[in-house]
Amino acid sequence: MELDAAEDHLLKGMVRPRELSVSHREALKVAVPRSLSEVRAVGLDTNVLKALRRELAFAEELFVTLGLSNVAIIAPSQVITEFWNNHETFSKEEWNGFQSDLSGLKRRLAKGTLPGYNQDLIGEIEALVDKVSDGLEDTKTPAHLQKSVDLIQSLLERATVPQVSRVRFAEIASVRLFNKTPPGFEDEKDKTAAGGDFYAWCDFMLGALCVEPEAERAQYLLITNELKADWKSGGRGHPALVEEFHSLCGGQLSILTLSELRKLLKDNEATLGASTGSAASADDSPSSPAGAEEGVVAE
């Protein structure tokens, strides 16, 4: 679906009345896909990008794997914006966490409570810990910015970045927040965050509508580490969100954490490995005995 037509469809679908009993029951039945071969697209939330920033090698592997599996990647515009809004905070948290780990290690070494400790060696390790700690770059240095740039560059090489009109959807955002319609009502008291989840959700659905559908792939994933009730209310996502996605986008949605996506990737890799192994075994099966070819009679 073209971008303008998709946004019109989304806007009309969110404001028109509809009967939900059938679609809501269907939403309660949605199960997590067993393989990437069932998944058409994956959307990523801001907190997932934060986690991937700490693991650039895994992020690259994830993006490549999804691409090779013909799974579209959706990076909602709101998510990209929020990532850059909080980029320095993410850097500082990472820096503080590593510094805390180093301090804890030094305290543990200083106790030297285990028998058989080589005190000279321990002193060398403590000095090395101090050296590493002193050498940590400040979070405002270019190196920390580059990690964020590298992640987003890698993502944008493979992802679409859809954005609904904030003006056209502003009234809906306000009404839904007042009515506690997910997502985002948990952020109502935080005036700086209220509305962000809603626009991320709309951007994601817009992207899903613009992905070329495939008959054998009806599953869509939204990956978020957010566990509040406005995203995850039991099961695999808030049923109202699963229902809305099905009604407006026509697919089955599962809202998973990054760790759950990792498990799906691992299971998918194991399945592919088993299939490859079976194929190899078939290729390696013994050929017909010499002289048993068609038309050859053994004496």
Query: What is the residue range of 59's domain?
Result: 3-87+139-273
Number of domains in the chain: 1
Residue 112 lies in a domain: no
Q: What is residue 194's predicted lDDT score, i.e. its pLDDT?
A: 57
Residue closest to 55 by CA, chosen among 157, 154, 158? 154
Q: State how far the Cα of 102 lies from the Cα of 203, in Å rounded to an integer.
A: 40
Q: What is residue 298's predicted lDDT score, i.e. its pLDDT?
A: 38
Predicted TM-score (pTM) of the model is 0.78
Q: State how far the Cα of 28 lies from the Cα of 7, in Å rounded to an integer.
A: 26
**Length of the chain counted residue by residue:** 299
Q: What is residue 106's predicted lDDT score, i.e. its pLDDT?
A: 65
Provide CB contacts within 8 A for 137, sequence distance 6+. Answer: 143, 144
Place of tokens 């966490």: 97
Residue 248 lies in a domain: yes
Give the chain's residues under pLDDT 50. Answer: 192, 288-299
Question: What 3-state DSSP class applies to 146?
Answer: helix
Residue 108 lies in a domain: no
Residue 289 lies in a domain: no
Buried b (16+ CB within 10 A) or exposed e, 147-183: bbeebbebbeebbbbbbbeeeebeebbeebbeeebbb
Q: What is residue 228's predicted lDDT score, i.e. its pLDDT?
A: 84
Q: What is residue 133's predicted lDDT score, i.e. its pLDDT?
A: 56
Residue closest to 204 by CA, chosen among 186, 171, 231, 174? 231
Q: What is residue 236's predicted lDDT score, i.e. its pLDDT?
A: 81
Residue 180 lies in a domain: yes
Residue 154 lies in a domain: yes
Residue 199 lies in a domain: yes
Report how far apart the first and last C-alpha atoms of the chain are (Å, whole number). Answer: 69
Q: What is residue 155's predicted lDDT score, i.e. its pLDDT?
A: 98
Provide CB contacts within 8 A for 3, sequence distance 6+. Answer: 162, 206, 210
Q: State how far the Cα of 245 lies from the Cα of 236, in Å rounded to an integer.
A: 13
Residue 128 lies in a domain: no
Q: What is residue 240's predicted lDDT score, i.e. its pLDDT?
A: 94
Q: What is residue 97's predicted lDDT score, i.e. its pLDDT?
A: 57
